[in-house]
Structure formats: C-alpha cells, structure tokens
Structure 1
Amino acid sequence: MKYRYLSDCHTHSDCSRDASDPTMMLCECACRLGLYALTITDHCECNVYEEDGYDRSVRQSYFEARKASAVFHGRLHVRAGVEIGQPMQNLAAAEEILDACDFDFVLASVHNVRGMPDFYELDYSQVDITKVLHLYFDEILETIEWGKFDSLAHLTYPWRYIVGEHGLAIDNAQFSGRIDEVLKALIKKGKALEVNTSGLRQKLGDTMPNLPIVERYHELGGKLITLGSDAHRWPDVCGGVEQGMELIKKAGFTHFSLYSHHEPKLLPIE
C-alpha cells in the first residue's frame, strides 16, 4: 500500500440487502491489504425502514462491527457505522436507529427523491431529468440542515445511472450553483464530504463527486473529507481508495478524516 493510513470508510456487509459477505470477511480482506482502518456502513433506507427490516438488520450490523473491532484489535481499526438513506422521508426511523446504536460514523445519502424509485430503477424516458436533479439537491440540502450525520455520501449519485448506465448527457455547469449550495451548507454545518470511489469500477468511470467538485469544496474552505469504496463484496474493499487519496491530494487536501464516536481524526496523506 502506498499510503500509511489508508482507510475505507464506506463498506457493506451481508447485513445490507444488496451485499454478500460477512463483516469478518471484509475485515480479513482489509488486513490482507494492509489497511489502517475499515468502517462498516450498512444500509438503513429510512423510507422502507420497517417494511424491509432495516430496524433489525442495522442493529445486527452494529453488533457485528463491534465484535469485529474486538477480534481484530491490534491489526485493524474497525469502526461501526451506518449509511442513513433518505432520512427526511422518515425522520422517526432515522432518529430511532441513531438513538439505538452508538455509531462511530454516520453517512447520509439520498438514493431516491420523494415519491420516486431509486435512481437505479428510474425510467429516464418518463421523467424530466433536470427537474428530478433539482429535487435531489433540494432533499440533500434538507438532510444537511437536519444534520444528524458525519459525512455526505456520494454527491452526484444520480450521475452513476443517468450518465454511467444510460449514457445520457448532463450539463454539469447547469448544476454548479446547486452543488455550491450543498458544499457551502456542509462547511457551515461542519460536515464532511465523501469521495466515493465506486464509480471508478463502474461504467461512470469517475469518483462521486469528481475532482472539479472536490477542488471547489477545498476552494470554499472545506476541511473534512472521507474516502469510501462503497464495497458490497469482499473483493471490492478499498477499491479505488488509493486513487481517491491521489485525487484529494490533487484537490489541495493534506489530510482526510477518520471518525470515531462522531469525532473526526485528521490523518495525513502520506
């Protein structure tokens, strides 16, 4: 490994419905790769919290992460986290699970806007993409104002499907003002921006967000940044994270953040 403190702060175990491998397997992989830290951030989709059993699976994920932390003590720093999806669509669910578990790290994400399916499932021939993206940024801003999280996951998530999977063009300049709103809101609230590297191994071929947005975050005064592979299986643990480190360094950052009990520890990029 090129970087001394290389860490993956966004991973999914088999406690996520769309992931396949147990926490222990993810940690074994992280150890083999020489990672400094691994954070388990299984899904909690608030809009289907009880219907899809997230009220149970997230508690199990928390237990597994804490168990792994003890098992791998001295070899790997294991953090217990969660990816809170669509918290504004069911605030009671979001706040219930955050009260139930003493997480180290909370990612906030928006996978779908109110009344619509996940961007993965959306039929783009039947919607006004510009309108949907404005709704996406609206909901992200609501989430930041709520503020009960540590880092904003994969800003530009819709690009993974609109551009990457469907090959539809988006005029990024058209949304630069909205993106600035998000970045400024994060800075004002003292929240981190995640660089999600999953797009590098997918058709999108880029991080979420990409370099120009990360550079803009730095330019605006952003200091807190996290890195995550968004792995849903053990072979993808740390996938692209070294490239992510190179990207944030190019954007002007000298440190990235690793969270423990919601407190960011700034680790040098070295």
Structure 2
Amino acid sequence: MKYRYLSDCHTHSDCSPDASDPTMMLCECACRLGLYALTITDHCECNVYREEEYDRSVRQSYFEARKASAVFHGRLHVRAGIELGQPMQNIEAAEDILDACDFDFTLASVHNVQGMPDFYELDYSQVDLTKTLHQYFDEILETIEWGKFDSLAHLTYPWRYIVGEHGLAIDDVQLSGRIDEVLTALIKNGKALEVNTSGLRQKLGETMPNLQIVKRYYELGGKLVTLGSDAHRWPDVGAGMEEGMKLIRQAGFTHFALYSHHEPKLLPIE
C-alpha cells in the first residue's frame, strides 16, 4: 500500500442483508492488504427497523466488530460502526440503536426519500427528477440538523442510479446551491463528509461525491473527511482507497479522519 494510514471506514459484513462475508473475513482481507484500520458499518435502515429486524442484526454486527477488534489487536485497528439509513423517517429507531451500542463511528445516509422506494428501484419515467432530488437534499439537511452521526455517507448516492445506471442528465449547476447548503451545514455542525469510492467500480465511474464537490467542501472550510469503500463482499475491502486518498489531497486536505468513540483522530495523508 502506498499510504501509511490507509483506513476503510465504510464496510458491510454478513450482518447486513445485502452483504455476504463475515467480519473476520473482512478483517483478514484488510490485514493482507496492509490497511491501518477497518470500520464495520452494517446497515440499519430506520424506516423498516422492526419489520426487517435491524434491531437484532445491528447488535450482532456490534458484537462481531468488538470480537474482531480483540482478535486482530496489534495487526489491525478494528472499529465498530453503523450506517444509519433514513434516520429522519424513524427517529425513535435511530436513537434506540445508538443508545443500545457503544459505537465508534456513525454514518448517516439517505437511500430513499419519504414515501418512495430506494433510488435503485425508482422508475425514473414516472418521477419528477428535480422535485425528488430537492426532497433528497431536504432530508439530508434535516438529518444534519438532527446531528446524531459523525460522517455523511455518499452524498451523491442518487447519481449512482440516475446517471450511472440510467444515463440520465442531472443539472449540477442548478443543484450547486443545494449542495453548498449541505456542505455548509456539515461544517457548521462539525460533521465529516465521506468520500465513498464504490462509484469507481460502478458505471458512475467516480467517487461519491466527486472531486469538484470535495474541493468545494474544503474551500468552504471543511476539515473532516472520511474514506470508505462501501464493500459488501471481501474482494472490495479497501477498493479505491488509494484513489480516494489522492483525491482528497487534490482537494486540498492534508489529513483525514478516523473515529473512535465518536472522536475524530486526524491522520496524515502520507
């Protein structure tokens, strides 16, 4: 590995319903790659918290991460995290699971706006795209104001499907004001911006968000950035991390954040 402190802070074990490999396997892979740290951030989709038994699977994820931390002590820094999806759609569920486990790191994300399916399931011939994206940014802003998280995951998640999978155009200029609102809110509330590298191995072909947005975050005064592969299987652990480090350096950053007990430790990009 080119970088000394390469850390993957967004990964999913088989405690997530859409992932396939156990935490121990992810950690072993990270060790073989020479990663400095790995954070397990299994899904908790708050809008279907009880229905899909996330109250049970997330607790199991936390237990597995803590067990792995002990097993890999001295070889890999293993952190216990969570990806809170749609916390504003069920705040009670979000706060219930955060109170139940002593996580190191909480990612917040929005995979679908209130009353609509996930962006990957949307029939884009039947939706007002501009209206839907404004609703998405509204929910992101509500989440930031709520504030019970550390880093905002894959800000441009809808682009993965709208642009990458369906080849539709998004007017980035028209939405630049909304993106600035989000970036400014993150800075004001002391929250990190995630650079999610999964887009590099998908049709989108770029990180989420891309260099332009990460650079804008830095220009506005952003200081906290995290990196994550969003791996859902062991071969993707650490994928795109070197490219991500290069990108955040291009954006102006000299350090990135690794969280422990919700406290960011700034590690140099070296």
Give the TM-score normalised by structure 1.
1.00
Distance 2:28 2:241 in 1: 17
State how far apart, in whole Å, the 2-side matches of 1:128 and 1:107 are.
28
The equivalent residue for 1:92 is 92
In the alignment, is residue 214 of structure 1 matched against residue 196 of structure 2?
A: no
Q: Whole-Å Cα distance in 2 between the matches of residues 80 and 125 of structure 1?
A: 40
Alignment of 1:57-136 (within 5 A): 57-136=57-136
Question: How far 1:51 sits from its partner (Å)?
Answer: 0.3
Name structure 1 gaps, 5 residues minimum: none
Instruction: State how many pairs are aligned.
Output: 270
Question: 1:138, CA displacement in angstroms?
Answer: 0.1
Question: For each residue in 1:174-194, what CA deviation from the matched residue of structure 2 results, as whole angstroms up to 9, or x when unmatched?
Answer: 100000000000000000000
Aligned to 1:2: 2
Tell me what 1:159 maps to: 159
CA displacement at 1:93 relative to structure 2: 0.2
Query: What does the per-residue CA deviation read over 1:49-78, in whole Å, with 9 as the maximum and x for residues that have no partner?
Result: 000010000000000000000000000000
User: What does residue 44 of structure 2 align with?
Assistant: 44
2:188 aligned partner: 188
**TM-fit CA distance, 1:256:** 0.2
| Aligned residue identity for 2:200 | L
Runs of 4+ in 1 over 4 A off after TM superposition: none
Task: Note if 1:173 corresponds to 2:173.
Answer: yes
CA deviation string 1:196-254 (max 9, x = no partner):
00000000000000000000000000000000000000000011011000000000000
Structure 1 residue 19 corresponds to structure 2 residue 19: yes
Name the residue aligned to 1:204.
Answer: 204
Q: Distance in 2 between matches of 1:51 and 1:166?
A: 30
Residue identity opposite 1:126 in structure 2:
Q
Q: Which residue number corresponds to residue 147 of structure 1?
A: 147
Match of 1:245 in 2: 245
CA–CA separation in structure 2 for the residues paired with 1:124 and 1:12: 28
Percent of counterpart pairs with the same letter? Answer: 88
**Code of the aligned partner of 1:117:** P
Distance in 1 (alpha carbons) for counterparts of 2:190 and 2:78 = 24
**Aligned-residue CA RMSD in angstroms?**
0.3
Structure 2 runs not aligned, ≥5 long:
none
- After TM superposition, give the deviation of residue 171 of structure 1 in Å: 1.0
